[in-house]
Amino acid sequence: MLREARKNELKEKLFRTAVELFREKGYENVTVDEITSACGVAKGTFFNHFAKKDHVLLYLGRSQVERMEEIAIKLRQISDPKERVRSLFRSLLSRYENEGHLLRVVMAETVRSALLLSEEEKLAGELRKVLAELLEEAAEDGRLTKRFGLPVLASALCALYFQAMMMTASGDKEAQKLLDEQLDAVWDGFGGAERTDGGTRP
């Protein structure tokens, strides 16, 4: 366990050093040699952690997916489905606090590459899957609308999360607060008075 922690620590260090170099010199102009020199480790060490340079850019998303699975297990203790989602989003966003600059470099290089973009799309798919699973129980016992499928709800929540992530990447400190309010709003519904009388809902 301790060994695992040390391994993760080194991986994180390689990632941060690499992204910092990408930012300074441009992704294409940075070699694996430079990354390992800057970290003070042998070149081979890099390849114990990342199959190739590309994979550095996927590390952030992949480590979030790994954390997400752990977080999701704990979240099952929360009964209210909205609060489950809120808690998941808070945990995921907290990873990016004060790291907007890293996130921006990673996102820019990812959007440029068709391959990386399709890998990131898979990671977004994992988030939608976890969201759908977190909501499933509530859908079964009627604490969630039945008019729309879980994939529709999960993808809408995903859109809110990614916007908050983008805001965080731009250094916006209000991202979490706005996401909280948006979550309340989509749960309650945007529609007004005609809904609150309870009689006209189809």
Q: Are 155 and 85 in contact (CB under 8 A)?
A: no
Minimum CB distance to a copy of itself smaller for 72 or for 153: 153
Nearer to a copy of itself (CB atom), residue 8 or residue 171: 171
Residues lying near a copy of itself in the complex (CB under 8 A): 82, 104, 107-109, 111-112, 114, 117-118, 121, 138-139, 142-149, 152-153, 155-156, 158-160, 162-163, 170, 178, 181-182, 184-199, 201
Q: Which two tokens stand for residue 185?
A: 């709003």
CB of 120 to a copy of itself, least distance (A): 10
- CB 103 within 8 Å of CB 60: yes
Q: What are phi and psi of 72, to 5 degrees?
A: -60, -35
Nearest distance from residue 116's CB to a copy of itself, in Å? 11
**Nearest approach, Cβ of residue 96 and a copy of itself (Å):** 15
Q: Cα separation of 30 and 49, whole Å?
A: 17
Q: Residue 184 CA to chain centroid, in angstroms?
A: 20
Closest approach, Cβ 133 to a copy of itself, in A, equals 15
Q: Between residues 42 and 185, which has the closer beta carbon with respect to a copy of itself?
A: 185
Taking the C-alpha atoms of residue 37 and residue 185, their distance in angstroms, rounded to an integer, is 50
